[in-house]
Chain A
């Protein structure tokens, strides 16, 4: 057996059924072995598409996503996707070929120090020097990627190692003395946390992406205590977006209710989130009345990294919530809820109606037509925030977006990965005209595998989020954000790939357009020409605090005090 076959066998033993990837010289022995393997390979058109698809596959399924690429340029094309998976704690294993061992370090053809390059953006990485090490490395990589705080792991295998004769053993014991994640929360700390919540007058429960797998426990805990729930962008869907206890998303484009709740809270229970600056704004002004912050996270390094924590609980969100549920009591929060209710009803998410077609109403129309029953992926930009605001998903693992890295172009490959993970679900990619054009070649992947994904491009002819910031903070000097003069006709572009293209330009055609997308048999690329100068509101300017929230464009309406 060659190293390449051993690699595939080791992957099979990890339960891998699907690999996204793109072949090339240094990974050819493994592609040759793949020819006879049970593992299905999905050929993407660019390695970045592959790693994003693997990421979404992982996020939608809860399993490990796998991507494969060749050495040098192939491997380097994974960098953005690996950084994205790292920032959003997603279990991905990347396998890359490398030049033969004898050529490493000689600046050989298609050589790059990929383990060096990916060191800061992977949870761990390997350069396999000995063919018999393959089963151990694969076992460790999957274990590291999927346990503790999940993250990407890269395995770099020189071509001659793939070709070498394997004489090793597949039965390997995990021996990682430096890697023992704490999963069970400390009972004393859990007791202290429950005690603090019981004494609280204005407590809130904030959850992030680390709670996606804890949705059942989260729901039970919230319902038992009656705590108001706030979900970050990464936490959307971890708690049902139609639940009466849900206040929405916090932060820069969060709801008034969520941000005010944080601002006025006395006790904050934060689970599986890392207090990103898009959530906290200016840290010194974040949650000024919170005398107790309880932070539950599986990664001890996240606790106390950004905000001061009074009750740290290192552990897995699901296990900690399970324990907390045992001691949880219904809390007396009637007067707190009266305040929250007031904010929620007085300042719902809304948009200023205009004569043009608007992104918000397009997303809302899809929400209404589907009953929210879909997996939503997004690119990065205004459309992403509109989707987060107006498509409140009700189920976990159903809102797949790039949070930490804010990677434009993830929408389409995310949709591809999500569809492979959950083929029976409706998958909608809400994308922007700028974002979509960063990875649109993956339409070929959609065609190749007949993937029924619905791509909804909200085309405002601009890099809308940058334009919004230039509008608000750079005196409307729209530097290099105009796309409309050179955008393709997206519907015709789709048709060139053999995908149905739909174009909707007028408000009155919205319903018909949405129906056409949802009723189409197979993939669709639908372009909705939306108002070009729309802004995402509410907004807390970068470095601001809840009190600085603006509800509408300053030239269009007044500011609101916290």
Chain B
């Protein structure tokens, strides 16, 4: 089953390395990974898309938590917002095609971010399924390039990815 996991980490050098190498050596299936800084200096937030059964997911969370620089791990099983950013460079041969692509753009609420003589770059945000459909809709016109960020996610409502309470050490 597909899971979106958020990980709050200290933004030290190699922390991404530690996470990807953990997935590689433990045989976890990492589908996508997106990283960015947060409003708290020194903290970054990683969104991972992972597939596996309950046992695997439990291990993914526990093994991530073992990393010294990982502050918090959440599996977004609760209601959450999920988004992906996608850029598509699509071939447009003539006016007719340009109009057709524009229709798709409007239907998906995408934006045109670059216009050239024979191509357009469209920008879309949405959940991964929406991005998939968008790309499929554009495919007949000749897709030149696709760039997807992978999913990012955030819980709805009051829930936040807070740092764990301090606990005593031996």
A positions within 8 Å CB-CB of B: 115-116, 119-120, 123-124, 127, 143-144, 147-148, 176-184, 299-301, 304-305, 316
Contact = CB atoms under 8 A, between A and B. Distances in A.
A116 B67 CA distance: 15
Interface string B12-56: 011001100110010000000000000000000000000000010
A301 B62 CA distance: 5
Given A119-B21, A300-B62, A301-B59, A177 B10 contact: yes
Secondary structure class of chain B's binding surface, majority of residues: mixed
B167 interface: yes
B62 A181 contact: no
A316 B66 CA distance: 16
B160 to A, nearest CB: 16
Contacts of B70: 178
Given A119-B17, A176-B68, A301-B63, A181 B10 contact: no
B65 A120 contact: no
Contact of B170 (A119, A147, A177): A147
B159 interface: no
27 contacts: A116-B17, A120-B21, A120-B25, A123-B68, A143-B169, A144-B68, A147-B169, A148-B169, A176-B68, A177-B71, A177-B163, A178-B67, A178-B68, A178-B69, A178-B70, A178-B71, A180-B164, A180-B168, A180-B169, A181-B169, A182-B167, A299-B66, A300-B62, A301-B65, A301-B66, A304-B55, A305-B62
A300 B65 contact: yes
Interface of B: 9-10, 13-14, 17-18, 21-22, 25, 55, 58-59, 62-63, 65-71, 163-164, 166-170
B73 to A, nearest CB: 10
Contacts of B167: 180-182
A183 B63 contact: no
A115 B17 CA distance: 10
A36 to B, nearest CB: 33
A301 B65 CA distance: 8
9 interchain residue pairs of minimum CB distance = A301-B62, A180-B167, A178-B71, A124-B68, A147-B170, A179-B68, A183-B170, A120-B25, A147-B169
Contacts of A179: 68, 169
A52 to B, nearest CB: 23
A116 B9 CA distance: 18
Contacts of A316: 170
Given A299-B66, A301-B62, A181 B170 contact: yes
Name, among A120, A127, A147, the residue most crowded by chain B CB atoms within 10 Å (CB to CB). Answer: A120
Nearest to B15: A178
Nearest to B25: A120
Given A177-B163, A178-B9, A183 B168 contact: yes
